[in-house]
Amino acid sequence: MTAVETPPVFATLSELAGSEATGTLLRGLGLGGFVPESGVSYLGRNQNCAGRTTAGAEVFVKKIDGAAVQFERAVRFEEMNRERGGGGVRAPSLLGHDERNGLLVFERVLGHRSGAELATDDRITASDCARMGALLGRLHGFPAADPTRFGAAQSVLPEEPALRRLSAAQFVELSAAELELWNLIQYDRVLLAAVDRLREHERAAVHRPIHADLRLDQYLIDGASVYLTDWEEFRLGDPARDVGGFVGEWLYRAVLGIAGNGDDDLSGHEGVLRRGVAEIAGIRPLVSSFWRGYREAADFADAGLAARAVGYAGWHTFERLFASARFGPRLSATQRAVVGVGRTALVRPEKFFTALGLEDHR
């Protein structure tokens, strides 16, 4: 959940804004009470409200409804980021928290839009992406001398036996499109071997502090200033996982773009290939700029990072497919194209290095 200044918002303000716990926390921080008339609540996994207090402060209040460890991770990130001082990650400041009620109070970032919104409106620039990459590179450069402060990240890749067989309970809950997708995965031995291989590389990689849930909508952007938000999954893990989250989002958008607006002739294999090449060429400057910014800011060497990142990007496209297939009767032609691209990214990640601009900038 990000504190952006544009929709999507709920039509009504969350009850969190008027709760006794929220008021007590805000007043205890010297911020006064929440002014309901100034408030909005954003769509997301957690209850939230944003607005002005009677002391004139702009705040964003979030209630963590998940496990206590998510609350702890968000607080731990804030503590470590402050220790880094000028070398830290630009993120909305945590003004205070209430562990018993799961409340976090952040400064409200005004005038920014999320990376996802800018991407949807074709307003995101290569310079934006370079700054986004640099921000992530600084995060991955955090010292990890004390692993007890982090905890280990659970792999984003499905473990056995889930990858190769579904339980009866899972089977009856899935849509026809989801079952079709699982069928494509589970009968593809080459793809399964590639996922196993990536999981092995993930375990062998040097684990660093990572965001672990990186998406475009967690970046807030306004000109030269870029913030990264939502730290409930902050922990040690493979840095390529975060990079792959960014690359995978663009790869998914590019493949969806193959369908176009109906003006191009996509009847036949050649038409699909032509449009696919054009769409990937269109995202290359953005991904390349992100990668350059990341590599310039990251103070470590990892020869296999790009290959693992492309692999994670490939699996990211499958995750997006599962979400879109949840209520579908069957996979569309575009969704099947996504399967093909995601599979290639997992099986032959090196094929995307040049196409996406992931050459080593060092």
DSSP letters for 205-258: SPPEEE-SS--GGGEEEETTEEEE---TT-EEE-HHHHHHHHHHHHHHHHHHGG
Q: What does the alpha-carbon distance between residue 26 and residue 51 come to, in Å, rounded to a whole number?
A: 12
For residues 37-51, average pLDDT: 87
Give Cβ neighbours of residue 72 (< 8 Å, ≥ 6 apart).
Answer: none
Where do the domains of the chain lie? Answer: 15-112, 154-206+238-356
Instruction: Give the residue with greater pLDDT, 85 vs 305.
Output: 305
Contact at 8 Å (CB) between 235 and 74?
Answer: no
| Rg value, the chain, Cα | 21
Q: Range with the lowest mean pLDDT among 3-12, 97-106, 231-240, 281-290?
A: 3-12
For residues 260-289, average pLDDT: 72
What b-and-e string marks burial along 220-243, b requiring 16 or more CB atoms within 10 Å of the CB? bbeeeebbbbbbbbbbbbbbbbbb
Q: Range with the lowest mean pLDDT among 155-169, 180-194, 214-228?
A: 155-169
For residues 342-349, average pLDDT: 96
In the chain the first and final C-alpha atoms are separated, in Å, by 34
Average predicted confidence (pLDDT) for the chain: 88
pLDDT exceeds cutoff 50 at 1: no
Q: What does the alpha-carbon distance between residue 198 and residue 195 come to, in Å, rounded to a whole number?
A: 5
Confidence grade of residue 5 (pLDDT, cut at 50, 70, 90): very low
Token pair recorded at residue 229:
């938000």
> What pLDDT score was predicted for residue 44?
78
For residues 293-299, average pLDDT: 93
Q: Residue 42 has what DSSP assignment?
A: B
What b-and-e string marks burial along 313-337, b requiring 16 or more CB atoms within 10 Å of the CB? bbbbbbebbeebbeebeebeebbeb
Cis peptide, bond prior to residue 285, ω within 30 of zero: no
> What pLDDT score was predicted for residue 157?
81
pLDDT exceeds cutoff 50 at 89: yes
> What pLDDT score was predicted for residue 259?
67
DSSP assignment of 10-29 equals -SS--GGGG-HHHHHHHHHT
pLDDT exceeds cutoff 70 at 345: yes
Q: Return the ∠ at Cα 60 (arms to 54 and 66), rounded to 5°.
A: 135
Q: Return the ∠ at Cα 182 (arms to 181 and 185), rounded to 5°.
A: 90
Token pair recorded at residue 145:
């001398």
For residues 58-63, average pLDDT: 96
pLDDT exceeds cutoff 80 at 162: no
For residues 280-295, average pLDDT: 96
- CATH for the stretch 15-112: 3.30.200.20
For residues 216-235, average pLDDT: 93
pLDDT exceeds cutoff 60 at 7: no
- 3-class secondary structure, 320: helix
Instruction: Give the residue with greater pLDDT, 152 vs 324.
Output: 324
Q: Residue 137 has what DSSP assignment?
A: H
> What pLDDT score was predicted for residue 275?
74
Contact at 8 Å (CB) between 303 and 279?
Answer: no
Instruction: Give Cα separations from 75 to 96, 105, 150, 199, 268 (angstroms).
Output: 9, 11, 11, 29, 53
pTM of the model: 0.90
pLDDT exceeds cutoff 60 at 213: yes
Contact at 8 Å (CB) between 127 and 263?
Answer: no
Q: Residue 96 has what DSSP assignment?
A: E
